[in-house]
Amino acid sequence: DVKVTQSSRYLVKRTGEKVFLECVQDMDHENMFWYRQDPGLGLRLIYFSYDVKMKEKGDIPEGYSVSREKKERFSLILESASTNQTSMYLCASAQGEMSTDTQYFGPGTRLTVL
Amino acid sequence: QQQVKQSPQSLIVQKGGISIINCAYENTAFDYFPWYQQFPGKGPALLIAIRPDVSEKKEGRFTISFNKSAKQFSLHIMDSQPGDSATYFCAAPLGGGGNKLTFGTGTQLKVEL
C-alpha cells in the first residue's frame, strides 16, 4: 500500500515564526502536492513538484515556499507564519502525469497560528 | 474561481436512503472525473472515477452518473449507511503537465440511523 506520512498531526506556532511541514512518500512517486483545506473552500493547491528540485506554483502560493531535495520528501515552508495560514495542510503523491493517476494523501497537519 | 462547482455543501440522509451529490464544470477539455472520500482525521482517498466517454459507472453501492451535454456529473450512494458519513469531493484534471487536480468545495454527508 502507498503510504504518505506527514511529520505532525497538530502544530501550534506564533505569528512570524518560520514553519516547516514535512511529507514523505514510500512509493517512488514522481509527483508530490501540497494542499490546504478550509471549510467551504475545498482543497486548494499550494505547490506541486514533478521531480526532484522541480516545483510549480498552484492556485495559492503566496506566503509559502517548497523544497524537494529527495524524491520521497516534499517540504512546505511558511517563511513568516500569519494567522490567515491557520488551516489543515494535506500532502499527496502520484505516480506519473496521466490524469488518471490516483493521488494518495497523507493524514494532514492541522496548523494553528496564534 | 471554482472550476468544478459542487452541491450541496452538506447533506443528511436516513440509513438506507439514497445520497446524491452534484458537480458541474465548464471546461470541456476535462477528461477524467474522480470522486474522493475523506473520513474525519484522515486524508482524502479515491472512491470512484469516470471518463466522459461513458454515462455511468457503478462500483458496489456507489454510482457516478455523467451528463456530457449538461457538463454535470453526480455521485449516488445507494442504501446509504452510517459508515458512509464522510466528506466527498469531486475533482477534474487541470492538465498543463503533471496530474494536478482541481477539487470541488466538498459535501459533508451524515447518514443517520
Q: What are A1-21's pLDDT values in tens digits?
A: 779 999 999 999 999 999 999
Distance CA A10, CA A55 (A): 26
Selection from B69, B83, B91 nearest residue B6 by Cα = B91
Of B80, B82, B67, the residue nearest B22 (C-alpha): B67
Best mutation site among A68, A99, A101, A105 for testing chain B: the one with the most B CBs within 10 Å?
Answer: A99
Average pLDDT over residues B12-37: 93
Contact state of B98 with A40 under an 8 Å Cβ cutoff: no
Chain A residues with beta carbon closer than 8 angstroms to that of B106: 40, 42-43
| B90 close contact with A: CB closer than 8 A | no
Q: Which residues contact B96 (CB under 8 A, 6 or more apart)?
A: none
Q: What is the pLDDT of residues A20-70, one digit of tens each?
A: 999 999 999 999 999 999 999 999 999 999 989 899 999 999 999 999 999
